[in-house]
């Protein structure tokens, strides 16, 4: 409910009262405060915005209701106004609400000055922009998170994990999340085996106290101090919420750090809890939504993979160090394998025991030892190595199974031993253990595989290019382009799918950034925002691009923009129609009056002015002027139909009237391009909305005209056809003889953002919106086109259950009557009243130029046969006058006839549809005016006509 409006001055002028009523009815907050910053006026919208009543706020300092973080900005603006440094200020800030939250508003404020220039205070408006800010902040957060995830991956790939790698990762996540503090805790074992957690890295927003060196956050026994958090993290779950809702032992640890809300996510390595990452809010009790949690969980997964890689590399380094120490005291395996005679080992160095687990003596006793211990897949390689050493000009790697069952990789370099005849009699070789290097390469492949897994897990389309071609595409990109398998896009160029984008030279990759139009496999166009970064992939330079589909968002923005423009045009059209109709009413009426007088002159003044030869020319001039005025009236009627496009009410609509309106509004586009032909069949009314249908057919007619080049109007035509369809629906067709539409794009003309017009001519939304309107009305829209011959747009609409609109019966002219009636005409345009008095000159007509004047007269005298009352008047409108007379109980309200030039408010329109009284539209149909008044005079014969 609205709070009680602040009282108006009891004797204030009417225009001031109307102004105050308008201000108090506004949805925006209108305010005023004095030089001390205390509220002196607030309209009821203040309560809707903040929940505080006007009464409790008046006299209070406005600064007390501004969000603490925004008070400095507001104070600076007030000081600038008071110092006359600025004529006005506009800024965005937050106001507190009664529930403890806040609302974002757009503040427009101007100073109030005395006659001598003294600063008295300020006034202005507050426009609620909370939802817009929330939507903008949500999109910005999504961008920040995706950028942070990509940056983390880039940092992980750019440099190997080190002891300080946590610090490199926590910063981007903290900035992206908008938290006050972000940190990473790592799990480790105490000497007694207990699992402890210590903070390893921290990022803090400006002004937030760091806790990295807080001794209470090192070597924490989480299972004892915060058992609920430990249990959730151990199950792989996150903890999120407001601290004041936590358990007492948790608040005791968190509240001293001034934490109001937090989010913690587990870090799992090799299936165990290796730590957690946390985000604190110290400024407000903001909770994280599901999208934020999912994106941060993906980032936590990347960090966990990096921790896993770090542990693996740490193990690799430790093992490498052990082997390096061994290598310092021993050489590689040296051996000589005898081929002449019985094959056997002639020599094997002692280090072989360390590499294979078999002593040199065992090699001497068993010449086939290597053949039994070699990996099955490498047996043929070993045989070639020992039998044909002269063919091995490069190192050869052979896998062996050690005595303990482990596999060892030995890299062999061999040389043949030749006898005097040049025959190979032995092989001498060096075998170096490269097992560690091979394992590191496998670990590197595993890391790259983990990156692929992460990219597959990213919900947005992602692609990696090298040398201008696609070498990797995740599933989201494949589906976004309309393909079924990544193989279908591998090896192609990303620019093949970008609309209106120049293709870079072969072998080069351009960083695709910003908003781009993306063409799918089926030809449909989507709008996506790209972010691209260079990285190393498979050990070589590449470029990763991540796209976000914003088609629906851009379509919605375009629809909203179009709806705003259409609503503005409708409002403008209604206002123009209203302002033209008033003068047009008395222009047409007065021209008709003059014509009637000229016709009567021969009988009234024989031989007088009527006998002059120029009278015929005067009559012709008057008829031409009246014909021109009638044309203006028809145009105004079409504008009034167009002005109702924002109504969603469905009703029976005269389709032919809608088509005539659309054709008239598009006449300027048509006349230079083609001839217009109408072929209207007998069709019933259709179910729809007149304004919406006018918008659809205006778009179709303009499209038809723009498909035909200018300058050949006599050779082209646009045909508008209506008929009944076989299924009982009404068919309306717009046919043109233009260039037509190619068959390959015919199936996509109703897709959003698709257009056949040149760049800058069309948005690609017109036919998409038409399709949406027609289908929402229960109809269908289709197209047929032949290139070079033209296009037919076909619309099918459901017929009204009432059937065809019956033709209005032609009223039989009543027999002339000598009974005169008493008529009161109420209109704030005196010329309109005088024109009506001339039309009704056979009656006694009185004029009232305002609603209040009419009310005073009807209160004093109710003896009127008819009251012709304007609907829209500034002081007291027709609706208010009607209701005031109705409350008097005289029954005179039944004799009201309403007249209007349009520009109805919704309340006035509902009122006219509710009351049974007739309505006459300006400009007047004189016959209809006389008939309505005559009927009222004849139906109330007992009403006296004298004073």
pLDDT in tens, 179-199: 889 999 999 888 888 899 999
Q: What is the pLDDT of residue 400?
A: 92
Stretch 720-744: mean pLDDT: 89
Model confidence at 732, in pLDDT bands (50, 70, 90)? Answer: very high
pLDDT tens digits along 598-657: 666 654 455 555 556 666 667 677 676 766 666 666 666 655 555 554 455 678 888 898
Instruction: Assess whether pLDDT exceeds 50 at residue 238.
Output: yes
Task: For strands 333-338 and 344-348, give the pairing.
Answer: antiparallel
- Give the CA radius of gyration of the chain: 44
* Beta-strand relationship, 822-826 and 866-870: parallel
What is d(CA 667, CA 656) in angstroms, rounded to the nearest whole number?
A: 16
> Which residue, chain included where needed, has tokens 């609302």?
103
Tokens of 588: 């047409």
Query: What domains lie within the chain, and their CATH numbers?
Result: 14-128 (3.30.450.20), 136-308 (3.30.450.40), 330-435 (3.30.450.20), 460-549 (3.30.450.20), 647-806 (3.30.565.10), 822-939 (3.40.50.2300)
- pLDDT at residue number 38: 94
Q: CB of 425 within 8 A of CB of 417?
A: yes
Whole-angstrom distance, CA of residue 542 vs CA of residue 761? 38
CB count in 10 Å sphere of residue 231: 13
Average pLDDT estimate for 882-902: 87
Higher pLDDT, 891 or 946: 891
Q: What share of the chain is helix, strand, coil (3-state, %, to 5)?
A: 45, 25, 30
**What is the average pLDDT across 742-753?**
71
Which residues pair with residue 272 across a beta bridge? 269
List residues bridging with 867 in a β-sheet.
824, 896
First to last CA, the chain: 49
HSE toward the beta carbon, residue 543, CA cutoff 13 A: 19
Res 64: pLDDT? 92
Q: What angle do CA 835, 837, 839 make, to 5 degrees?
A: 75
Decide if pLDDT at 757 tops 90. no
CA distances from 276 to 94, 239, 257, 726 (A): 34, 11, 18, 69
Q: Which residue has the tokens 């003044």?
A: 605
CA 885/CA 848 separation, integer angstroms: 15
Query: What contacts 90, CB < 8 A, 6 or more positions away?
Result: 106, 107, 108, 109
Choice among 91-100, 625-634, 707-716 with the minimum mean pLDDT: 625-634
- The pLDDT score that the predictor gives to residue 316 is 73
Q: What is the pLDDT of residue 567?
A: 59
For residues 333 and 351, is the Cβ–Cβ distance under 8 A? yes
Looking at residue 106, what is its pLDDT? 93
- 168-177, 315-324, 617-626: range with lowest mean pLDDT: 315-324
Predicted pLDDT at 66: 93
> Closest by alpha carbon to 929, among 805, 810, 801, 841?
841
Compute CA distances 760 → 713, 740, 756, 764, 771, whole Å.
Answer: 25, 20, 11, 10, 22
Q: What is the residue whose two structure tokens read 């030869």?
A: 613
Length of the chain: 947
Query: Which CB contacts under 8 angstroms, 24+ apart, belong to 914-921?
Result: 915/882, 917/882, 917/893, 919/871, 920/868, 921/581
- What CA dihedral angle connects 622, 628, 631 and 635, to 10 degrees? -130
Whole-angstrom Cα distance, residue 890 to residue 881?
Answer: 13
Phi/psi at 109 (5° precision): -135, 140
Lowest mean pLDDT among 10-14, 500-504, 684-688, 825-829: 10-14
- For strands 39-42 and 29-34, give the pairing: antiparallel
How is the beta sheet containing 844-848 ordered, strand by strand? 844-848, 822-826, 866-870, 896-900, 919-921
Is the CB of residue 740 less than 8 Å from the CB of residue 787?
Answer: yes
Q: Give residue 717's pLDDT.
A: 92
Q: At how many degrees (to 10) do helices 906-914 and 878-888 cross? A: 40
Q: Strand 844-848 vs strand 822-826: parallel, antiparallel, or unpaired?
A: parallel
User: Going by DSSP bridges, is the β-strand pair 119-128/651-653 parallel, antiparallel, or unpaired?
Assistant: unpaired
Q: Which two tokens stand for residue 797?
A: 């609409």
Structure pTM? 0.35
The 10 Å CB-count burial string (b at 16+, else e) for 447-457 is beebbeebbee
Mean per-residue pLDDT, 704-731: 88
Check pLDDT > 50 for residue 328: no
Q: What is the pLDDT of residues 861-878, one digit of tens each?
A: 888 999 999 888 888 888
Q: Which of 126-135, 561-570, 768-777 has the lowest mean pLDDT?
A: 561-570
Ramachandran angles phi, psi of 930, nearest 5°: -65, -40
Query: pLDDT at residue 809 above 50?
Result: no
Q: What is the pLDDT of residues 339-364, one digit of tens each?
A: 888 889 988 888 888 889 998 899 88
E strands present in 699-776: 717-724, 730-736
Per DSSP, 941 falls in state T
Split at pLDDT 50, 70, 90, the class of 806 is very low
Write the pLDDT tens digit of every residue in 261-312: 999 999 988 888 989 999 999 888 888 888 788 888 888 888 888 788 777 7
pLDDT tens digit sequence for 583-598: 766 677 777 777 677 6
Q: How confident is the model over 778-800, as a mean pLDDT? A: 89
pLDDT by residue (tens digit) across 96-131? 999 888 899 999 999 998 888 888 999 999 999 988
Percentage of residues of the chain with pLDDT beyond 90: 18
Cis ω on the peptide bond leading into residue 872 (within 30° of 0)?
no
Picking from 219, 220, 221, 186, the residue whose alpha carbon sits closest to that of residue 201 is 186
Strands (E), 613-708: 651-653, 675-680, 686-688
Predicted confidence (pLDDT) at residue 805 exceeds the cutoff of 60: no
DSSP string, 832-851: HHHHHHHHTTTSEEEEESSH
Biggest CA pair distance of the chain: 156
- Whole-angstrom Cα distance, residue 755 to residue 774? 19
- Least reliable range by pLDDT among 13-27, 313-327, 800-814: 800-814
Q: Which residue has the tokens 């990096």?
A: 306
CA dist 712 and 715 (Å) reads 5
Which has more pLDDT, 371 or 147? Answer: 371
Look-up: residue for tokens 């204030």?
12
pLDDT for res 946: 40
Chain center to CA of 798: 32
Q: Which among 108, 74, 72, 76 is positioned nearest to 90, based on CA atoms?
A: 108
Mean confidence (pLDDT) of the chain = 81
Q: What is the pLDDT confidence band of residue 81, given thresholds at 50, 70 and 90?
A: confident
If one counts every other C-beta atom within 10 angstroms of the C-beta of residue 110, the result is: 14
Cα–Cα distance for residue pair 452/159, rounded to 1 Å: 18
| Residue 78 pLDDT exceeds 50 | yes
What local confidence, expressed as pLDDT, does residue 734 receive?
A: 93
């Amino acid at each position: 409910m609205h709070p009680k409006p602040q009282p108006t001055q009891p004797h204030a002028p009417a225009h001031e009262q109307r102004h105050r009523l308008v201000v108090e009815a506004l949805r925006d907050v209108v305010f005023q405060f004095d030089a001390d910053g205390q509220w002196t006026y607030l309209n009821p919208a203040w309560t809707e915005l903040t929940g505080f009543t006007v009464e409790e706020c008046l006299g209070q300092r406005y600064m007390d209701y501004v969000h603490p973080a925004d008070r400095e900005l507001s104070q600076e603006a007030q000081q600038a106004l008071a110092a006359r440094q600025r004529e006005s200020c506009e800024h965005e800030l937050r106001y507190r609400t009664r529930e403890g939250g806040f609302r974002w508003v757009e503040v427009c404020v101007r100073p109030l000055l005395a006659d001598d220039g003294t600063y008295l205070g300020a006034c202005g408006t507050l426009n609620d922009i909370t939802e817009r800010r929330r939507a903008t902040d949500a999109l910005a957060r999504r961008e920040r998170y995706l950028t942070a995830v990509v940056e983390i991956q880039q940092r992980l790939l750019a440099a190997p994990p080190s002891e300080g790698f946590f610090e490199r990762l926590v910063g981007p996540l903290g900035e992206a999340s908008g938290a006050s503090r972000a940190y990473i805790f790592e799990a480790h074992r105490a000497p007694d085996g207990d699992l402890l957690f210590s903070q390893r890295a921290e990022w803090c927003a400006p002004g937030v106290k760091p806790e990295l060196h807080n001794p209470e956050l090192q070597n924490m026994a989480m299972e004892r101090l915060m058992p609920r958090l430990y249990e959730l993290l151990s199950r792989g779950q996150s903890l999120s919420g407001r601290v004041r809702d936590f358990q007492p032992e948790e608040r005791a640890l968190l509240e001293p750090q001034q934490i109001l809300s937090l989010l913690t996510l587990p870090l799992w390595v090799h299936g165990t809890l290796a730590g957690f990452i946390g985000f604190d809010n110290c400024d407000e009790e903001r909770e994280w939504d599901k999208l934020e949690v999912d994106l941060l969980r993906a980032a936590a997964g990347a960090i966990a993979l990096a921790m896993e890689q770090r542990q693996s590399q740490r193990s690799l380094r430790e093992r490498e160090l052990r082997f390096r120490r061994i290598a310092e005291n021993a050489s590689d395996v040296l051996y000589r394998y005898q081929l002449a005679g019985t094959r056997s080992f002639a020599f094997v160095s002692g280090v072989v025991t360390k590499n294979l687990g078999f002593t040199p003596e065992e090699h001497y006793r068993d010449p086939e030892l290597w053949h039994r211990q070699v990996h099955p897949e490498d047996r043929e390689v070993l045989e070639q190595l020992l039998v044909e050493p002269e063919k091995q000009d490069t190192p050869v790697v052979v896998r062996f199974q050690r005595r303990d069952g482990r596999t060892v990789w030995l890299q062999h370099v061999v040389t043949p031993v030749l006898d005097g005849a040049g025959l190979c009699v032995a092989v001498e070789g060096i075998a170096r253990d490269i097992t560690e290097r091979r394992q590191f390469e496998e670990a590197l492949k595993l890391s790259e595989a983990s990156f692929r897994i992460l990219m597959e897990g990213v919900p947005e389309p992602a692609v990696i290019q090298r040398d201008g071609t696609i070498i990797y595409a995740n599933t989201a990109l494949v589906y976004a382009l309309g393909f079924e398998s990544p193989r279908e896009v591998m090896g192609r160029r990303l620019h093949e799918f970008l609309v209106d984008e120049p293709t870079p030279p072969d072998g080069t990759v351009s960083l695709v950034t910003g908003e781009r139009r993306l063409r799918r496999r089926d030809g449909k166009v989507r709008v996506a925002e790209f972010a691209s970064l260079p990285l190393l992939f498979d050990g070589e330079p590449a470029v990763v691009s991540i796209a976000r589909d914003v088609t629906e968002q851009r379509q919605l923005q375009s629809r909203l923009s179009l709806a705003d423009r259409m609503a503005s045009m409708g409002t403008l059209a209604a206002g123009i129609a209203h302002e033209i109709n008033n003068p047009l009413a008395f222009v047409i009426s007065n021209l008709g009056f003059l014509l009637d007088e000229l016709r009567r002159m021969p009988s009234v003044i024989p031989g007088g002015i009527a006998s002059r030869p120029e009278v015929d020319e005067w009559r012709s001039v008057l008829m031409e002027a009246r014909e021109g005025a009638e044309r203006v009236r028809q145009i105004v009627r079409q504008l009034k139909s167009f002005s109702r496009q924002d109504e969603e009410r469905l009703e029976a609509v005269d389709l032919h009237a809608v088509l005539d309106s659309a054709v008239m509004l598009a006449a300027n586009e048509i006349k230079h391009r083609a001839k217009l032909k109408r072929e209207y069949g007998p069709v019933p009314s259709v179910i729809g909305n007149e304004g919406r249908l006018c918008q659809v057919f205006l778009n179709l007619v303009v499209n038809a005209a723009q498909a035909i080049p200018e300058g050949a109007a006599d050779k082209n035509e646009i045909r508008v056809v209506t008929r009944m369809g076989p299924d009982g629906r009404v068919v309306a067709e717009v046919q043109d003889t233009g260039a037509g539409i190619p068959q390959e794009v015919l199936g996509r003309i109703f897709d959003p953002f698709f257009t056949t017009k040149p760049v800058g001519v069309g948005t690609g939304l017109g036919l998409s919106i038409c399709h949406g309107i027609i289908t929402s009305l229960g109809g269908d829209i289709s197209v047929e086109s032949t290139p070079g011959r033209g296009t037919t747009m076909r619309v099918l609409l459901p017929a009204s259950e009432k059937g065809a609109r019956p033709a209005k019966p032609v009223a039989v002219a009543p027999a002339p009557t000598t009974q005169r009636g008493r008529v009161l005409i109420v209109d704030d345009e005196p010329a309109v009243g005088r024109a009506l008095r001339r039309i009704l000159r056979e009656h006694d007509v009185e004029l009232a130029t305002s609603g209040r004047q009419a009310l005073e007269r009807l209160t004093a005298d109710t003896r009127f046969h008819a009251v012709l009352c304007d609907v829209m008047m500034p002081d007291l409108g027709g609706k208010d006058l009607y209701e005031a007379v109705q409350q008097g109980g005289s029954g005179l309200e039944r004799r009201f006839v309403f007249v209007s030039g349009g520009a109805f408010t919704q309340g006035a329109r509902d009122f006219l549809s509710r009351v049974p009284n007739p309505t006459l539209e300006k400009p007047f149909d004189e016959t209809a005016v006389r008939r309505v008044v005559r009927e009222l005079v004849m139906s109330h014969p007992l009403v006296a006509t004298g004073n």
